[in-house]
Structure 1
């Protein structure tokens, strides 16, 4: 075996090993059957963490970027954001509603921004989960995390979460959840009036 043939064989082995290492977390995640607890539902099989990190163009979804634009894809569990000038694009993994009947789709906008939001369960949540507290103030126990973008639809928000296991899953009661560091960044870009489309 010549020196150049040996180098080529070593390079192929190195690349194949690297690809196997990169695939390992995804395979491990795919085969996970650990139970997870969602507030109010008790233990249930994991609905696997998935999120599509495919970049999208804004043009098929919005007529313009006035005030910026947020697209939430509930199927791929990803949130896309474009600034008004089109120069900044962000893509974040999200949690989405647990069931289709809790999922709202369509167009709305950001109507309020809150750092350290308070949380009160909706009347429907209280009916489903009477044991839930009527109020949780800002802090580590708050289901809305560190920041919240209130939408034009009553009770609907894009917010953070302290429970990072929820991201990438169908795990919310209707809202769209992000990691706290991601909602903090999105919060800095979004403004009252930012367009929102849930598909």
Structure 2
């Protein structure tokens, strides 16, 4: 489905069957049966990507069903053009354009009580960023974060995925990020410790359009209910996941975002 499909608040549209016949044989075939490999389908814009030295796998279409995918259409929010408008209750991020449209991306957000709110500004953006736990993370959950005290370098194992946009208030780093993730299940749900997650393909798409600085607005509960009541509180709250350092570095495509980020306030 192309990402140019129009959307609005009221309308959203959303197996291949095959059969084979074996030829009759006069002598039984004693060769072992071929292993069945299920076909994986990707929507347009969500296929595999070669990004520099890194090969990003595609996002299977089981994760991009219905509205849980990138779409372009009329912007119905309340922010000015050039703003990134995030709805943590409907689990969407809007890149607002000057012509009255927006590119809408599905996101994963923090569990209840751990999400950023209000306004911020993107003052830094990085490709394949590394990650280091904050002092607050080490202090509050040492059993989770102490193994990562020295940090995780940028790459396929980084909890920040393929790209990261860094949110500031004034000159202060909030330690919140808009970033990629390998934890596909989290998109459209609440499950992180506060940052705004996107499919890696989507954060790459957004990254190329974001100037420095860019204003970010995080919708309040009341604003979400007023602007997008149909999608208010979509998704579920996922339980926290914990991976060991061995698990994180022992695979090329880990659920790396299970190592979570939250504010150091």
- TM (normalized to structure 1)? 0.66
Partner of 1:138: 154
**In the alignment, is the contact (CA less than 8 A) between 2:75 and 2:96 conserved in 1?**
no
**In the alignment, is the contact (CA less than 8 A) between 1:145 and 1:161 conserved in 2?**
yes
The 3 A distance-change label for structure 1 pair 198 and 175 is same
Corresponding pairs, count: 147
1:143-154 paired onto structure 2 within 5 Å: 143-153=159-169, 154=174
**1 CA distance for matches of 2:74 and 2:216?**
15
Partner of 2:75: 57
Partner of 2:188: 168
Partner of 2:102: 89
Secondary structure of the structure 1 residue equivalent to 2:180 = strand
Secondary structure of the structure 1 residue equivalent to 2:208 = helix
* Cα distance, 1:182 vs structure 2: 0.2
Partner of 1:99: 112
**Which structure shows the bigger proportion of residues in helix conformation?**
1
Partner of 2:214: 194
- TM (normalized to structure 2)? 0.50
For structure 2, the residue ranges without an aligned partner over 5 or more in a row are: 1-12, 16-64, 220-265
The 3 A distance-change label for structure 1 pair 190 and 181 is same
Deviation sequence 1:85-116 (CA, Å, 0-9, x none): 3366211111101121x112111111101001
**2 CA distance for matches of 1:51 and 1:157?**
23
**Aligned pair 1:177/2:230, yes or no?**
no
Partner of 2:32: none
